[in-house]
Amino acid sequence: MTRLHLEILVEEYSAEVALEQLLPKILPSDIEFEIRSFRGKKDLLKKLPQRLKGYQAWLPENWRILVLCDRDNEDCKKLKKILEDCATSNGFTTKSSSETQKFILLNRIAIEELEAWFLGDAIAIYQAYPKIEKSFAARQRYRDPDAIKGGTWEALEDLLQKKGYHPGGLNKVEAARKISEYMQTKNNRSVSFQCFCSGIQAFFSSDENSNE
């Protein structure tokens, strides 16, 4: 049987770096993947229609597509609709639009930014930056990573700088690389991260069911 391939489109390089380490923990071992990063969300959204049109013209039967972007300050439902409309208008069945379990494209949104996923795993942050106390997760500001006010990367920067890390400003790529190395897929307090993981699992369970 031909191995399945997952093509991932993300808005920036720090997301690519994080997913390079996270996806092997989420995907079945026989799934191949390739991550393609853009120059920010505007660049991703601008180029997405043409990119999907190109995929539709030649996409192998064993390929699947994942699109991931940050919500930032946008309305989550409106952003999801933009992604869904772009996919369906280019002939792709998405998880949301499929009338069966099988779908080709999955849209996922990090709420409000990828750094919320990092803040959802206090143990991983402690392992990457040992001066950080794991108990930070119990503070009111950090209890719900997806609901942090004022930006999650700013919250992560503040947390790390208070212990002497990233004194010149948060290096998003370095932080993504260090923290994602230790992240686990279970027990992450970010609901959007859990939604990301369950969506990917649904991807491949749908393929298994279709072959029964």
Q: CA-based Rg of the chain, rounded to a whole angstrom?
A: 17
Cβ atoms within 10 Å of 47's Cβ, excluding its own: 13
Which pair of structure tokens corresponds to residue 17? 């770096």
Record the pTM: 0.94
Tens-digit pLDDT profile for the chain (212 aa)?
A: 578 899 999 999 999 999 999 999 999 888 999 999 999 999 999 999 999 999 999 999 999 999 999 999 999 999 999 999 999 999 999 999 987 778 999 999 999 999 999 999 999 999 999 999 999 999 999 999 999 988 999 999 999 999 999 999 999 999 999 999 999 999 999 999 999 999 998 887 765 544 44
